[in-house]
Amino acid sequence: MRHYLALVLILCISTPVFAAPPAAPPALVKTAQLQSSLAAPTQSFVGTLYFDRISQLSSEVSGRADKVLFREGDLVKKGQVLVELNTDFIEKELMRVQSMIDLTQAKLDHSKKDLARYQQLLKQQATSPTAYDQLFYSVAEIKAEKAAYITELESTQIKKDKSVILAPFNGRILEKNIAIGNWATTGSPIARIGALSDIFIQVPTSETLLPFSTIGQQVDVWLPATNQHLKGIHKGFRPVVDAQTKNIYSRIQLEQITQPFENMSAEVSLPTNTKSEQLLVPRDALVTFNGQKFVYSIKEGKAAIIPIEIVSFSGDQAAIKSPYIQAGMPIVIEGNERLRPDQPVTVIED
């Protein structure tokens, strides 16, 4: 027993004592006061992107496509050259008509000189009025013939100009219907183009929500395929309600969209009730964990996590509700992504 006590005493003396690890320094955070304001609850609805103005571009003249300067999906500007048709025959026609004009002009110059000479002879009674009249109307006929050739030249020049097919507006090529070497006839399709200035989202909602939407109001739009968060303007409703679902279609015009795709899906936040007092926080204050939404507040110098329910979004603000929050309390808006409940914090002033 003595030997056992001695061994324990030796181990206690020889074993080093490890100090407890130092406490982690307080987390640095920025806060904002929870604000109370008028806002309407919203709900996310799935809609479809479409081009409200589409041109089925066609050729106005016939010809072989020598150059096709676009591809499907290209963004094009108004007046941009899309297709150049072969103009070899038109060039020859222009030369022929111009030659006929030159020939007619020479005949006209000669006839005018004869007419002037006959006019002097008529004054001297050296020729008959009939001979003078014949020459006078001959000059008029040559003038009319020249005018007809000039009109033909202008028409042929228009054909040449129309052989270069231009984009009618700023848009995106939705379909390409021609390739190099194809023969384009008058009216044959060249391309289908959607105007970039008229891109809309068509959103089906219950007709009961009609009173809560105002034409001209700004709404939030998210395009999942391209992960674009955009602003849209409510432009009214289609004048037809679906006979089976009784859905009405809101028309939301998009602003500053890049890479639009016809018929792509979009999520649009639309109001579902009238405005009421809501508690608003910046979106940066929201924390998501296991599908649940939280915010952090500050209590006695420590982070206090609060479960919340999101009522709606408006721009960079979110309307939230919870039995544990009230207007004026501090909400963490920076540094919350690394916080833990009850962690000491130091608030940094902006």
The pLDDT of residue 171: 94
Provide the CATH number for the domain formed by 27-39+276-347 in this structure: 2.40.420.20
* Per-residue pLDDT tens over the stretch 95-116: 999 999 998 888 888 877 777 7
* Per-residue pLDDT tens over the stretch 146-179: 899 999 999 999 999 999 999 999 999 999 999 9
Contact 171, 98 (CB under 8 A): no
Instruction: Categorize the per-residue pLDDT at 13 as very low, low, confident or very high, splitting at 50, 70 and 90.
Output: very low
Select, from the ranges 4-18, 19-33, 143-157, 303-317, the one with the highest average predicted confidence (pLDDT).
143-157
The answer as to CATH 2.40.30.170 being correct for domain 44-51+198-271 is yes
The pLDDT of residue 136: 77
* Per-residue pLDDT tens over the stretch 47-78: 999 999 999 999 999 999 999 999 999 999 99
The pLDDT of residue 166: 97
Instruction: Categorize the per-residue pLDDT at 22 as very low, low, confident or very high, splitting at 50, 70 and 90.
Output: low
Q: Please say if the pLDDT value at position 19 is more than 60.
A: no
Q: Can you give the residue ranges of every domain in the chain?
A: 27-39+276-347, 44-51+198-271, 55-86+164-194, 88-162
Question: In this structure, which CATH number among 3.40.50.720, 1.20.1260.120, 2.40.50.100, 3.40.50.300 belongs to the domain 55-86+164-194?
Answer: 2.40.50.100
| Helix H or strand E segment including 320 | strand 317-321
43: helix, coil or strand? strand
Instruction: Categorize the per-residue pLDDT at 273 as very low, low, confident or very high, splitting at 50, 70 and 90.
Output: confident
Q: Can you tell me the distance from the alpha carbon of 76 to that of 73, in angstroms, rounded to the nearest whole number? A: 9
DSSP 190-245: EEEEEETT-EEEEEEEEGGGGGG--TT-EEEEEETTTTEEEEEEEEEE-S---TTT
What residues form DSSP beta bridges with 189? Answer: 58
- Helix 129-162 crosses helix 88-123 at what angle (to 10 degrees)? 160
Contact 149, 104 (CB under 8 A): yes
Q: What is the pTM of this model?
A: 0.69
- Provide mean pLDDT across the span 242-270: 91
Q: Please say if the pLDDT value at position 11 is more than 60.
A: no
Q: Considering the chain, what is the average pLDDT of its residues?
A: 86
- Provide mean pLDDT across the span 181-190: 94
| Helix H or strand E segment including 276 | strand 276-282
Q: Please say if the pLDDT value at position 239 is more than 50.
A: yes
Q: Please say if the pLDDT value at position 227 is more than 80.
A: yes
The pLDDT of residue 48: 97
Q: Where is pLDDT greater, at 11 or 247?
A: 247
